[in-house]
Structure 1
């Protein structure tokens, strides 16, 4: 099978200094993967002529599809268009259809009464030998160039604006159909198994015999997180149906060996899994958080339609607030402390009552960095989950920095909640 690889070049100083997060590459990788094109390399360069040129020269050695994003605006620092003219030995020519689109965009969409400035009009100046990719949402057109690599094979360069919603529209509507027409498409099949509670190395040991059996066109990837590891089997071939039949036995063997730590037979996160469980049971949830500061509530509400099962949240750092809002016993806080099993359990009970929920989950702990007032070691966290009839709890001893401790504690609490909901459904 003649595989087609792609390279993504993102352009902009703002990407290198961290002022803007590159989400375009992730989107492009996902969309290309759907049509069987593998992103072999990703490169970020600043708004520097020589650096962009060198990136183009370098990536054509590895890939037959090279996608650039960024540098197509009307200002002086946007140098992609003139550079591409030099690179492909052509010149800028004003395109009247694009100019009309820009005019309509400003008058009909942006509702501007002023005439187009010369800078606006320059957006219609495009390389003479490119195929224009229409930008329905903006003024910076996409561009498609064709060339040949050192072996004489066709090679395609696509230049797209850096604005994500414009880039996505052009790529899906304009670029993908042309990519398929030029290169064809291959079948890509993914099977994902989500696990929780066992590290990557231990999982690898458990399924080593299966991994050794995999043919060269089926790969196993480990995607670790805090306590969570996703396993992804990926097969590439010409026939999707045959690939699915071929991958399934390997997937089922892995599933059997990891049955005790499997949380989902797909790519679902814990918050998605919990949302589905609650919707199935027609039950509701509340959260009571101290050390995690509302992060669990954030995860739950990041899922669409979470209002169907999430009643509310209490973030209670101060002990007086734990008493007033959730009814945590003053005696418990004095004798056992805020970071204790009893406090976590009472926080669950209080959240159930305060938010009239069927289930609740709570966290209380010390996540660092250490201070003189710490009553217990940094990383000590109590989590609890339950309903009006039963509450379960668990002690965590985390060893990360504060940010990682927050995420780890939240995910552990969600997994405890998941198990409780399943056992009481």
Structure 2
């Protein structure tokens, strides 16, 4: 079964807000075997909405729309639905009671007529009850396509998808199985990984597809299997994961979408009761931000300092002024001192330090723009590596963060 997701709103098209609803809906549909083949963003224009509804008629099983269901005059989805389905708006008594009660309870005032008008719905629709808001969802089938209109407010949309839409689809439709398995690799680019697994990829059965999802410093390999027999799909996916693992086990760090390098690293630190700190210059605290974004990071992350200025490295971390003058603030010697010092200050087992010229202008060092030094301080030694990530500035910073985590991951593996 196939679906198209449509977001309605000029605020999306002019870049005022970012559409996050489509991704949430697509994931929810994927979990129950429905393939999203298209995502659209369209304007709050009656003719444009009508054209979109007409174009999608009988081309997909489901059209999921979000937005345009508010109480103000610029919210036109319900009226446009009536035009398309040759219908009229009627008051749904259950929705009206809910709206009045919600406004009185939450706003502590009587519901206005504008609020009550949220209970107006096309007479042909099946109402999807919105417990957490005033705009109901609407389900209307025309020929071979089900049209579902949902509020654009994310928490209301999520409630309706999880509690109304998905249960209704599961109850009424038989669907194929769609299964995914993600393999997270690090340290090698997409082309290198593809070359290493070419023979394995060519031998995949026809019902399993492989997608490469590259990002700076890492590549996700996503296996997707579709079919009617869940057990066959599960067995085939696992068999192929096992076989490719033997080929590239040296660069695999996880097997799940949520198993990012920083999450895996944090889990290993917590498991072995090890702690870490950071001293950052060119990365501006981003390594600490990434590490602390994981739940439970307080078990292993003790703290970090951002000594962006040269004098701050001297005053806060005690880096030798002579080393800076002799070797440059962007150097092996300085980054080693930063890592060693923050490890002592924070009383941790490990530390990560960075210094570099991210650009576009040179700072207090004459080294080439894009140059970054990363140091890992362990209980027994300090490992330093030099990189040149080129430009632009954002690329330099992102790659420096990834490489720092990779180097730390390699060190923690030595105690596993």
What CA distance in whole angstroms lies between the structure 1 residues aligned with 2:363 and 2:286?
26
- Tell me what 2:142 maps to: 147
What's the CA shift for 1:371? 4.2
- Tell me what 2:87 maps to: 90
What's the CA shift for 1:58? 2.1
- Which of 6, 14, 18 matches 2:15? 18
- Which of 59, 63, 67 matches 2:64? 67
SS class of match (1:188): strand
- 1:303-359 per-residue CA deviation (whole Å, 9 max, x = no partner) reads 112112111110111111111211211111111111111111111111112222221
What's the CA shift for 1:386? 2.0
Alignment of 1:209-228 (within 5 A): 209-228=199-218
- Which of 306, 310, 319 matches 1:319? 310
What's the CA shift for 1:373? 6.0
SS class of match (2:277): strand
Do residues 363 (structure 1) and 354 (structure 2) align?
yes
- Tell me what 2:412 maps to: 421
What's the CA shift for 1:257? 1.4
What CA distance in whole angstroms lies between the structure 1 residues aligned with 2:102 and 2:398?
44
What's the CA shift for 1:6? 0.7
RMSD of equivalent CA atoms = 1.4
Alignment of 1:19-418 (within 5 A): 19-108=16-105, 110-113=106-109, 115-148=110-143, 154-267=144-257, 268-371=259-362, 374-418=365-409
What CA distance in whole angstroms lies between the structure 2 residues aligned with 1:119 and 1:39?
35
What CA distance in whole angstroms lies between the structure 2 residues aligned with 1:335 and 1:58?
69
Contact 1:386 1:420 in 2 (8 A): no
What's the CA shift for 1:231? 0.3
What's the CA shift for 1:218? 0.7
- 1:191-241 per-residue CA deviation (whole Å, 9 max, x = no partner) reads 211111111112112211122222222100100000100101111112222
What CA distance in whole angstroms lies between the structure 2 residues aligned with 1:247 and 1:156?
32
- 1:78-105 per-residue CA deviation (whole Å, 9 max, x = no partner) reads 1111111111111111112111111111
Q: TM-score, normalised by structure 2?
A: 0.96
Contact 1:196 1:227 in 2 (8 A): yes
Contact 2:91 2:121 in 1 (8 A): yes
* Runs of 4+ with deviation above 6 angstroms: none
Bigger Cα displacement from structure 2, 99-108 vs 65-74: 99-108
List gaps (5 residues or longer) in structure 2. none
May I ask how many residue pairs the two structures share in their alignment? 415
What's the CA shift for 1:61? 4.8
Q: TM-score, normalised by structure 1?
A: 0.94
What CA distance in whole angstroms lies between the structure 2 residues aligned with 1:235 and 1:120?
46
Change (3 A) 1:384 1:215: same
What's the CA shift for 1:186? 2.3
What CA distance in whole angstroms lies between the structure 2 residues aligned with 1:363 and 1:250?
39
SS class of match (2:235): helix
SS class of match (1:258): helix
- 1:52-76 per-residue CA deviation (whole Å, 9 max, x = no partner) reads 1222222235311110011111112
Contact 1:386 1:417 in 2 (8 A): no
